[in-house]
């Protein structure tokens, strides 16, 4: 009896994830290999299990790679994939540059401040993503707050055009993903033994040298975790490029959305999803390995993605 | 304690200003009398009144709250079970796949998750609406619950359970009187996180909803695309206020329980 309940603890969540995560992915692959048609559902062939073995054979015969050939031949898809990767890489680089000083300062703040600073970092992340993106529309639009104040201060005479350009996309991406970068960085920096820096300084290293040769290598797990936590979702981002980017801002998530909701070409949308998945599978596997190793090591995390940190008893 | 350098203070101040100024502007200007977003026309709660008279928006809000509640309940149960499986059941067969299934949905781009679930619902001929959104949300929210509860279970002193078992308590009793109360704060945090994740989601809900089940983010999104209205500012301010209150309460509760445990341990 006890053995049975122990089994259930594993089987119930396992089945749920298999049914609603693994199986849907298999269906995406299947439909990516189908042809569109005017019907409900709008693709062909359908797998008819009632037809038995013959149905299965007929199904596999009807599959085609035509959608992938189509994707490879049309510049739009390759361009939006490359553009997504470029935007995602640049945003991640900006996030490291901005996030590191913040995380570093948090880790050096007096112990009693740290939980408050962590909470202050997490709080915006709990408020709606959509609303935070919307807030930037009010700031960046030609008659928005930014131009209003810059013109009022006499710094510029003409309103700057930021909304509907790539700059707006970068600003909003950095803004919405900042906590995902800062919290893992803070978690590793907070645990770092500061006497190592002091030792390096005592041995004559300059402040910059001590930073590059001691702090940065020790913070590497945090940098990797933070970068993956930002890079993977940003590559497939839809809301930010759709609301803040112009029509020339290509991103693969948006292309997929348009293909699905506007063009109603489900097979092509599924093929785009497959391509994006293949591109991201390596970073996702690295992320999973890093996270489960961290978990196994008994690290204590709290926030989204186990990335948050709370210091308790880790150090003497 | 080492002091903060000037550079540290500047990084913190600028960082927090960057995070909070957009939100504060949105909240302050939701009380603006003027229809023009940047021109201050005097304090007014006019848009809040209009918001509550906006029938479709209110209906969407109600759908969202119900979906979030159902999601949070399912995600908490499934996520806690998964966390127990990962921490208490050692190396069972298929463990590597299981951890993969837990971590992948957290970083998976939402467009992929949304599309794949929609295609599943179509393939099994399920009518889309309230329940399909709830199932979709549960699937990714449970993974976050798992991570939170798992980290709590890892940090947990197993000797307490062993002591109870040695003293003759049956395993189910040990679970309900020792394990569950100790991990309860993490379960509560997971519940709240699942609730807000569900309330926030636009992309997955757009894919998996059907006629008659429009959530608040979907409604806000379509209005923002049309240029946004002061009512949306008011709705945003209310949501921000609700979330901030919930987070502050949760922090206080968790602090207090941590202090009580510390006191008991002494």
Of A108, A178, A298, the CB nearest to B2: A108
Instruction: Confirm or reject contact between A256 and chain B (CB < 8 A).
Output: yes
Token representation of residue A54: 């013959």
Contact across the interface for B154 and A23, Cβ inside 8 Å: no
How far off is chain A from B75, nearest CA to CA, in Å? 10
The total number of structural domains in chain B stands at 1
- Helix (H) or strand (E) holding A43, with range, is strand A43-44
Give the pLDDT mean for A182-198: 88
Per-domain residue ranges of chain A = 70-306
Average pLDDT, chain A: 82
Domain membership flag for residue B7:
no
**Quick one: pLDDT at residue A298?**
52
- Band (pLDDT 50/70/90 cuts) for residue B226 is confident
Of A8, A109, A138, the CB nearest to B4: A109
**Quick one: pLDDT at residue A48?**
58
Tokens 């041995």, residue?
A203
Strand partners for A43: A36
Strand partners for A309: A301
Give the pLDDT mean for B137-150: 92
**Quick one: pLDDT at residue B18?**
93
Which range is least confidently modeled, A55-69, B151-165, B167-181, B211-225?
A55-69
Instruction: Confirm or reject contact between B193 and chain A (CB < 8 A).
Output: yes
Domain membership flag for residue B128:
yes
Token representation of residue A76: 């739009």
Which range is least confidently modeled, A128-142, A223-237, A281-295, B102-116?
A281-295
Count residue pairs from A and B with Cβ separation < 8 A: 269
- Band (pLDDT 50/70/90 cuts) for residue A311 is very low
Instruction: Provide the Cα torsion A29, A34, A40, A46; round to 10°.
Output: -80
Helix B55-88 / helix B95-107 crossing angle, nearest 10 deg: 150
Please, are residues A200 and A245 in contact by the beta-carbon 8 Å criterion?
no
Which residues does chain A have within 8 Å of residue B100's beta carbon, measured at their own beta carbons?
Answer: 285, 288
Cα gap B139→B201, rounded to integer Å: 13
**Quick one: pLDDT at residue B89?**
76
**Quick one: pLDDT at residue A96?**
96
Using CA coordinates, name the residue in chain A closest to B113.
A21
Instruction: Confirm or reject contact between A284 and chain B (CB < 8 A).
Output: yes
- Band (pLDDT 50/70/90 cuts) for residue A221 is confident
Which residues does chain B have within 8 Å of residue A109's beta carbon, measured at their own beta carbons?
Answer: 4, 8, 12
Give the pLDDT mean for B192-208: 91
Instruction: Confirm or reject contact between B234 and chain A (CB < 8 A).
Output: no
- Would the pLDDT of B92 be above 80? no
**Quick one: pLDDT at residue B10?**
92
Alpha-carbon distances of A164 from A137, A257, B197, rounded to whole Å: 9, 18, 27
Cα gap B177→B264, rounded to integer Å: 16
Domain membership flag for residue B129:
yes
Contact across the interface for A276 and B116, Cβ inside 8 Å: no
The DSSP symbol for A38 reads S
Q: Name A152's Cβ contacts closer than 8 Å, sequence gap at least 6.
A: none
- Band (pLDDT 50/70/90 cuts) for residue A314 is very low
**Quick one: pLDDT at residue A44?**
63
Instruction: Confirm or reject contact between B81 and chain A (CB < 8 A).
Output: yes
Query: Testing the interface with B: which of A36, A95, A130 to mutate, by most B Cβ within 10 A?
Result: A130
Contact across the interface for A137 and B220, Cβ inside 8 Å: no
Between B237 and A39, the higher pLDDT residue: B237
How far off is chain A from B157, nearest CA to CA, in Å? 12
Of B20, B139, B251, the CB nearest to A20: B139
- Band (pLDDT 50/70/90 cuts) for residue B97 is confident
Residue B249, Cβ density class (10 Å: 0-12 exposed, 13-18 middle, ≥19 buried): exposed
Bond preceding residue A41 cis, omega within 30 of 0? yes
Q: What percent of chain B has pLDDT over 70?
A: 95
Strand partners for B52: none
- Would the pLDDT of A106 be above 90? yes
Q: Chain B neighbours among A 129-188 (CB < 8 Å)?
A: 129-132, 134-139, 143-145, 148, 175, 178-179, 182
Instruction: Give the tens place of pLDDT for each residue, A222-281.
Output: 898 899 989 999 999 999 999 998 888 889 999 999 888 888 888 888 888 988 888 888
Domain membership flag for residue B255:
yes
Q: ipTM value, please give it.
A: 0.85
Query: Testing the interface with B: which of A6, A14, A59, A293 to mutate, by most B Cβ within 10 A?
Result: A14
Which range is least confidently modeled, A47-51, B13-17, B104-108, B247-251?
A47-51
Token representation of residue A42: 């709008």
Cα gap B204→B214, rounded to integer Å: 12
- The CATH number covering residue B125 comes to 1.10.3720.10
Q: Chain B neighbours among A 184-213 (CB < 8 Å)?
A: 194
Q: How many helices (H) and strands (E) does chain A have?
A: 16, 2
The top-level CATH class assigned to A70-306 is mainly alpha
Of B115, B151, B228, the CB nearest to A302: B151
Contact across the interface for A127 and B122, Cβ inside 8 Å: no
Contact across the interface for B151 and A300, Cβ inside 8 Å: yes
Instruction: Give the tens place of pLDDT for each residue, A16-48.
Output: 999 999 999 988 888 888 776 656 666 766 665
Instruction: Confirm or reject contact between B45 and chain A (CB < 8 A).
Output: no
* Residue ranges making up the domain that contains B136: 54-265
Contact across the interface for A13 and B85, Cβ inside 8 Å: yes
Between B157 and B113, the higher pLDDT residue: B113
Of A122, A229, A233, the CB nearest to B109: A233
Instruction: Provide the Cα torsion B194, A300, A233, B221; round to 10°.
Output: 30
């Amino acid at each position: 009896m006890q053995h049975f309940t122990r089994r259930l603890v594993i089987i119930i969540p396992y089945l749920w994830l298999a049914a609603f995560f693994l199986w849907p992915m298999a269906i995406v692959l299947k439909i990516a290999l189908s042809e569109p048609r005017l019907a409900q559902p709008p693709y062909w062939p359908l797998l008819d299990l009632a037809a038995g073995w013959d149905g299965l054979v007929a199904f596999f015969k009807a599959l085609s790679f035509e959608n992938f050939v189509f994707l490879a031949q049309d510049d739009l898809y390759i361009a939006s994939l490359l553009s997504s990767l470029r935007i995602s890489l640049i945003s991640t680089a900006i996030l490291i540059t901005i996030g590191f000083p913040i995380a570093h300062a948090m880790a050096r703040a007096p112990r009693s401040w740290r939980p408050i600073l962590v909470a202050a970092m997490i709080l915006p992340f709990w408020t709606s993503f959509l609303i935070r993106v919307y807030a930037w529309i009010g700031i960046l639009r030609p008659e928005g707050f930014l131009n209003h104040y810059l013109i009022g201060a006499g710094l510029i005479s003409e309103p700057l055009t930021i909304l509907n350009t790539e700059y707006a996309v970068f600003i909003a991406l950095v803004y919405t993903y900042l906590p995902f970068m800062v919290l893992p960085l803070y978690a590793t920096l907070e645990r770092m033994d500061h006497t190592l820096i002091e030792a390096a300084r005592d041995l004559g290293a300059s402040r910059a040298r001590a930073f590059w040769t001691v702090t940065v290598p020790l913070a590497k797990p945090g940098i990797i975790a933070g970068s993956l936590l930002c890079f993977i979702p940003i590559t497939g981002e839809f809301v930010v490029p759709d609301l803040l980017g112009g029509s020339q801002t290509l991103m693969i998530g948006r292309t997929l959305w348009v293909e699905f909701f506007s063009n109603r070409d489900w097979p092509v949308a599924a093929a785009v999803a497959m391509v994006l998945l293949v591109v991201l599978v390596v970073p996702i596997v690295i992320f999973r390995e890093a996270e489960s190793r961290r978990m196994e090591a008994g690290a204590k995390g709290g926030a989204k993605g186990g990335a948050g940190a709370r210091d308790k008893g880790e150090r003497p | 304690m080492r002091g903060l350098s000037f550079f540290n203070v500047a990084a913190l101040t600028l960082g927090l200003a960057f995070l909070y100024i957009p939100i504060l502007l949105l909240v302050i200007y939701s009380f603006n009398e003027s229809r023009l977003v940047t021109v201050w026309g005097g304090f007014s709660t006019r848009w809040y009144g209009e918001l509550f008279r906006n029938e479709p928006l209110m209906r969407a809000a109600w759908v969202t709250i119900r979906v979030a509640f159902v999601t949070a309940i399912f995600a908490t149960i499934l996520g806690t079970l998964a966390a127990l499986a990962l921490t208490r059941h050692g190396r069972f067969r298929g463990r590597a796949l299981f951890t993969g299934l837990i971590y992948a949905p957290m970083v998976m781009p939402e467009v992929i998750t949304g599309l794949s679930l929609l295609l599943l619902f179509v393939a099994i001929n399920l009518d889309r609406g309230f329940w399909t959104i709830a199932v979709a949300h549960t699937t990714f929210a449970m993974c976050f619950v798992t991570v939170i509860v798992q980290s709590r279970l890892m940090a947990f002193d197993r000797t307490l359970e062993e002591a109870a078992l040695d003293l003759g308590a049956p395993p189910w009793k040990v679970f309900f009187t020792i394990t569950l109360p100790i991990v309860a704060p993490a379960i509560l945090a997971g519940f709240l996180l699942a609730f807000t994740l569900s309330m926030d989601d636009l992309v997955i809900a757009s894919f998996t909803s059907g006629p008659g089940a429009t959530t608040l983010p979907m409604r806000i999104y379509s209005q923002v695309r049309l240029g946004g209205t002061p009512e949306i500012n008011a709705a945003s301010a209310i949501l921000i206020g609700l979330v901030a209150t919930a987070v502050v309460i949760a922090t206080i509760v968790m602090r207090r329980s941590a202090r009580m445990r510390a006191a008991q341990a002494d």
